[in-house]
Amino acid sequence: MKDSIVQFVCFATNLTPDLFIPEWESFAKKLRHKKQEPNLLELASEAKNKFRYISQHVWPDRDFHFSFMNERKSEHFPEHKVRVVQAGGYVPLLSEKKYQQEDADVRLMAFVGHKETYIDAYRRMPHFHRLDIHQAYYESCAYGYILGFHVPEANADELLLLLQQRPGVEAGIYKECAVTA
């Protein structure tokens, strides 16, 4: 993923995966780059966050389509109650493994505001196996950083509480969503 830009698209909805995924697949087709399949995360059922789904689309930096950032920050799937929020394009800053990742890991996604100046504090947090840090590529991105913690499900709630105590951070526990796209 070096020399790439990751576009994060967030979805606020109450739709269940069986209703949401077909709509998302249609939407994601216009965001797909060649054979690079987008990644879709779904909010864990007991968790609360303003985004129920998060879609990640990887683009080589030379092929990133600026039109995504020129569109409105929010749009809708016309016939469904789905609000689409373009978080923007982010460059991978760090992918750090502390321990071997496990199959039972969940993904704790943290959306960090632009005022955050001490990003190393997140690297020192406990319980995660791997941390992916993405930094905003454009000034118009919705967040300064987007962090993806791979953490054992048993420790996810504790790490979530630590993240929620930091000012300017929105965080939630997500799991991979099976898609056919």
Q: pLDDT per residue over 141-150, tens digit each?
A: 999 999 999 9
Residue 58 lies in a domain: yes
Residue 72 lies in a domain: yes
Cα 11 from chain centroid (whole Å): 10
Residue 70 lies in a domain: yes
pLDDT value of residue 60:
75
Residue 151 lies in a domain: yes
pLDDT tens readout for residues 70-126: 344 445 565 668 888 889 999 999 888 877 666 678 999 999 999 988 899 999 999
- Domain extent, residue 156, equals 4-175
pLDDT tens readout for residues 41-81: 999 866 677 899 999 988 776 555 544 433 444 455 656 68
pLDDT value of residue 174:
93
Residue 181 lies in a domain: no
Q: How far apart are CA 150 and CA 131, in angstroms?
A: 6
Residue 180 lies in a domain: no
Taking the alpha carbons of 157, 170, 114, 93 in that order, is the dihedral positive or negative? positive
pLDDT value of residue 3:
76
Residue 56 lies in a domain: yes
pLDDT value of residue 107:
92
Of residues 12 and 36, more confidence is placed in: 12
Number of domains the chain contains? 1
Cα 33 from chain centroid (whole Å): 18
Residue 134 lies in a domain: yes
Q: What CATH code is carried by the domain that includes residue 71? A: 3.30.70
pLDDT value of residue 76:
55
Helices (H), 36-129: 67-70, 120-123
By mean pLDDT, which of 26-40, 60-74, 155-169 is the weakest? 60-74
Residue that is written with structure tokens 């985004």 in the block: 51
